[in-house]
Amino acid sequence: MANVDRDYQGLAFDYGRSPDQDAGVAVRHPVVVVGAGPVGLTAAIDLARRGVPVVVLDDDHKLSVGSRAICFAKRTLEIWDRLGCGDPMVEKGVSWNVGRVFFQDERVYSFDLLPDSGHRRPAFINLQQYYCEGYLHERTAALPAVDLRWRNRVTGVTPDAEGVTLEIDTPDGPYSLRADHVIACDGSRSAVRSLMGLESKGRVFRDRFLIADVRMKADFPAERWFWFDPPFHPNQSVLLHRQPDNVWRIDFQLGWDADPDLERQPERVRPRIRALLGEDADFEFEWISVYTFACLRMERFRHGRVIFAGDSAHGVSPFGARGANSGVQDADNLAWKLALVLAGKAPERLLDTYGTEREYAADENILNSTRATDFITPKSEESRLFRDAVLRLAKEHPFARRLVNSGRLSTPATLHGSALNTPDADAFGGAMVPGAPMTDAPGTMHGRPAWLLSCTGDVFTAILFAGDRGFDAATIAAIRALGTDGIPVKVLIVTPAGAAVPGADGIDCFADDDAVLARRLDASPGTCYLLRPDQHVCARWRTFDADRVRAAVARATCND
C-alpha cells in the first residue's frame, strides 16, 4: 500500500494499449468513469468493491499538478475508510480541529470544529492533493475490477436509449467504447459537459487569490489561521495551513485589480511571505498560483446515462474546503445506487435521486461558500463596515464570533426531505434525522475496540438497540431473515456495556461501552436506525419491526 517515501508528484503512469483498441468494434462496458481525479477514483473504487467492472479514462498520466486541494474533511475520510484507503491519508496528513481568526494585529478568537471526543477521525486533515490521488490510485491497483487507462482523452460523447458511445484519443490514435453508464468526473472544464452542449452556471467572484505552497521549518501549530486585514498584508485576508513534509500553504487575497502574471513571480511573492514570517525567514517555493473563484453548478447532474459528479457538476470557492469533499460525497451517493440498478435490484429512477440529493447538497455548499466569500471580500462600503464591526466585536462578544465567516468548513449535507427517507413516526431528539450521515461512536466489537462507522456501510445496516435482556427468539429470527433479503439488511445489535444478547451468535454486536452512541442517537432499548449503504440515515423507529424495515429499504431504493 502507501509508501511514504514515494515521490508522488513526480510519478508518471504508463499508457498501456487496451485490447479494446484492437477489437474492431466499440467494446461495451457497464460503467466508464471519465477523469481520474479524487472523485473519479473514489467512484471507481466504490463500484469495483461492489463487483461492478469500471473503466477509468484520464487524459493525463500524472497525479494532480501542484497541491490544489489540501483540506479533507472528516466525512470524506470516513468514506475513504469504508473504501479501505482512509488510513494512509490520515497517517500522512496533518490532523487539525482548531481554526484561529485574527483581525489587524489582534487574535480575535478560535473555534474547535470537533469539540467532543469519541470520533475516529479528526475534523480535517491537510494533505496535498497528489498524495490523496496517489493513495486512491494505489487502492485501485488492488482492485482488478478497475481498468485505469492513462492518456485516454474523451473527445466525443453520444448518448442514445441503450447506452453511450465514447470517442477516445490515445497516443496510438483514436478508438471507441460503449458504456451502459458514464460518470463524468472530468473536472471544472469538463469535456463531457461541453461535448453534450451543457453548462455549469453561477457567479464568478471579482477577486484574486495568490496561493503559495512553501517548504520551511516553522513552529506554527496544526491549526487553520486566518487573518483579516493584517498589518503585513493590509486591507486583504491571509490564510495559513500546515501540510505534510514541512510544506505550508499561504493564501493571500490580492483584490480584483491585481495582475495575475506579475503576482505569481517568485520575486513578488517572496516579500509578501517575509512580511508574514519575518525578514530572515528561510523557505523554498513548492508551488505558486493565482486564482479567481466561482460558485457554479449544472442545472441537473443526471442526463440519462451520463451522470456528472465533482467539479464537472459544481464548483465552489475554496473557503470552506467544499470542492473535493463534496465531490467525494457525490461518488459515495452514486456508487451504491448505480450498483443496485446494474444488478437489476432497483429501477433506473433511483439514479434520479442521485441528482436531486446531490443538487440539494451542492446548493448548500454554494450558499456557504458564497456567504464566506462575501464576508471575506465585502462588495460594498456598508458590507465592509459591518464585516469590520463584527470582527471588532468578536474578541470580547461571543455572539459576534458566530457571525465571523472565514469559511464555513465542509460538513456533509443532511438530505432533508429526500424521497428516499421514511419520515419519522416516532419522536426523537438529536441531529441524526432521516437524511443525516451517521455519526461515529466508540465501542467494542468481538472483544476489540471498534468504531461504529467501521461496522456499518456498504450495505443497508439496521442499528438496533438491545436492552439488558436482549431479544426474544422471534425477533432474533426476524433479524436473521433480513440478512437474506434480495437487498440484504445487515443488523448491528447495540448492547449496553457488558450485556450479552442470548441467541444472537453470528449477528454483529457492538457494545456501546460509554453509552455515547445511545446518547448521540437519542436511543432507548428497541430503537432502530436504518442506514443506507452510504451510511445516511433513511428511517428510524422506537421499536423494531422487520416489515417496516423492509418497507423503508424499498422506499430508499425506489422499489416501493
Ligand X SMILES: Cc1cc2nc3c(=O)[nH]c(=O)nc-3n(C[C@H](O)[C@H](O)[C@H](O)COP(=O)(O)OP(=O)(O)OC[C@H]3O[C@@H](n4cnc5c(N)ncnc54)[C@H](O)[C@@H]3O)c2cc1C
Per rule CB under 6 A, is residue 364 in the interface with ligand X? Answer: no
Q: CA torsion angle for 401, 402, 408, 409 (degrees, to 10)?
A: 70
- Determine if 291 is a binding residue for ligand X (CB under 6 A): yes
Can residue 400 be called a binding residue for another protein (CB under 8 A)?
yes
The contact pattern for ligand X, residues 30-59, with x = CB under 6 A and - = no contact, is: ----xxxxxxx----------------xxx
Stretch that binds another protein, among 106-114, 167-175, 289-297, 382-390 (CB under 8 A): 382-390
Q: Pick from 230, 323, 437, 533: which binds ligand X (CB under 6 A)?
A: 323
Residue number, 34 or 254, with CB nearest to ligand X? 34
Q: Does 388 bind another protein (CB under 8 A)?
A: yes
Binding mask 55-84 for ligand X (x = CB under 6 A): --xxxx-------xxxx-------------
Cell reading at 184: 463524468
**How many residues interact with ligand X (rule CB under 6 A)?**
32
| Full DSSP string of 295-313 | EEEES-SEETTEEE-GGGT
Binding of another protein at residue 497 (CB under 8 A)? no
* Residue given cell 525567514 in the structure block: 281
Grid cell of 112 as nine digits? 474547535
Give bridge partners of residue 231 from the DSSP assignment: none
Per-position DSSP letters for 356-405, written without gaps between them: HHHHHHHHHHHHHHHHHHHHHS-SSHHHHHHHHHHHHHHTT-HHHHTT--
- Return the C-alpha cell found at 169: 484519443
Minimum Å distance from CB 378 to another protein?
Answer: 12
390 binds another protein (CB under 8 A): yes
Q: Which of 7, 14, 280, 382 binds another protein (CB under 8 A)?
A: 382
List own/partner pairs for 480-485 with CB under 8 A and 24 or more apart. 480/506, 480/507, 481/546, 482/546, 482/549, 482/550, 485/550, 485/553
Closer residue to another protein in complex, CB, 220/386: 386
Measured from the CB of residue 109, what is the shortest distance to another protein in angstroms?
15
**Residue 37, C-alpha cell as written in the block:** 481525479
Cα distances (angstroms) measured from residue 320 to each of 50, 86, 323, 410: 31, 21, 9, 5
Q: How many residues bind another protein (CB under 8 A)?
A: 12
Q: Is 399 an interacting residue with respect to another protein (CB under 8 A)?
A: yes
Q: Which of 46, 311, 357, 440 binds ligand X (CB under 6 A)?
A: 311
By CB under 8 A, residue 551 contacts another protein:
no
Q: Contact between 385 and another protein (CB under 8 A)?
A: yes
Name which position in 274, 392, 401, 519 contacts another protein (CB under 8 A). Answer: 392
Question: Do residues 281 and 188 make contact, with C-beta atoms less than 8 angstroms apart?
Answer: no
Choose between 362 and 511: whose C-beta lies nearer to ligand X: 362
Residue 310 C-beta: closest distance to ligand X, Å: 2
d(CA 141, CA 150): 13
**Contact status: 153 vs ligand X (CB under 6 A):** yes
Report the DSSP pairing between strands 460-465 and 489-496.
parallel
Distance CA 557, CA 345 (A): 8
As to burial, measured by CB atoms within 10 angstroms (0-12 exposed, 13-18 middle, 19+ buried), residue 159 is middle
Name which of residues 198 to 257 contact ligand X (CB under 6 A): 211
Of the pair 39, 450, the CB lying nearest ligand X is at 39
Q: Would you give the binding string for ligand X spanning residues 518-557, x where CB under 6 A is met?
A: ----------------------------------------
* Cα angle for residues 483, 486, 491 (degrees, 5° grid): 20
395: left (phi over 0), alpha (psi -120 to 50) or beta: alpha
Applying CB under 6 A, which residues contact ligand X? Answer: 34-40, 57-60, 68-71, 129, 153-154, 185-187, 191, 211, 291, 310-311, 318, 321, 323-325, 327
Note the residues at the interface with another protein (CB under 8 A): 382, 385-386, 388-390, 392-393, 397, 399-400, 403
